[in-house]
Amino acid sequence: MTIGQSVLVCLLLSLATYFGGCDANKKVNWENIPKIRSSDFRGADLAWLITERDGALLSTSDGGKTWNQVPGNAVGAKFDVVAFNDRKRGWAVNNKGWVWKSDDGGESWLEISRLTPTGSDDWQFNSAGQIKFIDDRNGWIIETLSIWRTVDGGVNWRKVFPIGSGQSNVKGQPTSGYFDDPTNVWVTGTSGEIYRTKDGGESWQAQTLLPNGDFNEVYFVDGNTGWLLGYLGGETGTQLYRTDDGGQSWLNYPIARVQIQWICFINGDEGWAVGSEGSSAGAKESIRGVVLRTGNGGRSWNRIDIATEDRSFDRIHFVDRQNGWLIGRNGLYRTEDGGKAWRPVLPFESIGRGQN
């Protein structure tokens, strides 16, 4: 069994546990699953969301007052991930590995390419976790077991990060990326690894910080200052690392013993982290969402109270110091005063319901 096959087996086993085991008669408990699988925000008014269950695209151009929905069949299957460069130009990948482009804010889509094996490559598309275009020509896709790059606007793609193809410095699978420019990219990975390329994926340098853990988020505010988010196997809570020398060294920063899902930093000092935590009341354990804010670069964190019953907050994004978006299990929220107050702009009651 190759490394890639081993990783895929582990992934499938994890998904089976995540969705309630291998019993085909069991119904999926959608309450415990994020309702949104991909999101993108541009400014204070533009937002695009992909629903987990239906693979539909939701969009707003007026800060959440009104919403437009495009079904997954508009891209030949369910939407997987989406990204826009401005209010008109965007790209998406469906759950078959087909790449689509929109020039009207996501109302209509044109297929431009497909991620396919080349030569003797036995790779098969599993799921896209992220798509990002630096400009109109240079783009990246992070897939379950691979990373792809285009230099012609998505018409042609080349796999630049294969798993199990003789790269001795690659042990895990890619999870999330930060794209500084067309050639300089950071990617988090399983097996406690982080990867960096300075030449557009021609070569990769690997660092191992959590041999028994996984990283799932990387965020930089400039060429020197960045953060890593991950988990250590068998331990409760989140591992947060910070670098101030462009990733040459990383310092582990303490954070509350909660399960953090997402981080977002506005500058070197001000940042946000969201997730969930469990609490016991007698014999019953409950789960509630957590929002944390730091004003000193992650050295300490303060809890922010939000009037909602969300079991978890899954993503947070600030477009500037005042305007931010927050995705929970119950709905989408927006702030216009730097996070002091959050108001709901899209309830998720109808997302993820129906027959399994």
Q: What are phi and psi of 342, to 5 degrees?
A: -125, 135
Identify whether 55 is part of a domain: yes
CATH code of the domain in which 96 resides: 2.130.10.10
Instruction: Give the pLDDT confidence score for residue 18 in this predicted structure.
Output: 36
- In-domain check, residue 116: yes
Q: Are residues 72 and 102 in the same domain?
A: yes
Pinpoint the alpha helices (H) of the chain: 3-18
Which range among 13-22, 179-188, 237-246 shows the weakest confidence by mean pLDDT? Answer: 13-22
Do 45 and 66 reside in the same domain of the chain? yes
Final residue of a domain: which of 141, 159, 177? 159
CA atoms of 277 and 201, how far apart (whole Å)? 37
Q: Give first-to-last CA distance, the chain, whole Å.
A: 33
Pair (148, 63) in one structural domain: yes
Report yes or no on 220 lying in a domain. Answer: no
Q: What range defines the domain where residue 3 resides? A: 1-33
Say if residue 215's pLDDT is above 50: yes
For 76-135, how does the pLDDT look when each residue is reduced to its tens digit (9 = 90+)?
A: 999 999 999 999 999 999 999 999 999 999 999 999 999 998 776 778 999 999 999 999
Q: How many CB atoms lie within 10 A of CB 174?
A: 23
Same-domain check for residues 4 and 71 = no
Tally of domains in the chain: 2
Domain boundary among 159, 176, 209: 159
Digit-coded pLDDT (tens) for 9-66: 344 333 333 333 334 444 555 566 889 999 999 989 999 999 999 999 999 999 999 9
CA separation for the pair 33, 36 (Å, rounded): 9
Q: What is the pLDDT of residues 294-340, one digit of tens each?
A: 999 999 999 998 888 899 999 999 999 999 999 999 999 999 999 99
pTM of the predicted model as reported, rounded to 2 decimal places: 0.87
Assess if residue 263 is contained within a domain: no
Q: What is the DSSP string of 23-36?
A: -TTSPP-GGGS-SE
* pLDDT per residue as tens digits for the range 249-272: 999 987 877 899 999 999 999 999
Do 45 and 124 share a structural domain?
A: yes
Residues 94 and 4 in one domain: no
Report angle CA 97, 227, 184 to the nearest 5 degrees. Answer: 55
39 and 155 belong to one structural domain: yes
Are residues 3 and 81 both part of a single domain?
no
Identify whether residues 54 and 104 lie together within a single domain: yes
Do residues 13 and 63 share a domain? no
Non-local (6+) Cβ contacts of 282 within 8 A are none
On whether both 132 and 149 belong to a single domain, the answer is yes
Which residues is 188 bridged to in the sheet? Answer: 176, 194
Per-residue pLDDT reduced to its tens digit, 64-86: 999 999 999 999 999 999 999 99
On whether residue 85 sits in a domain, the answer given is yes
Could you tell me the two tokens for 15? 């998904």
Q: Is the same domain home to 53 and 130?
A: yes
- Beta-ladder partners of 68: 59
Position 172 in a domain: no
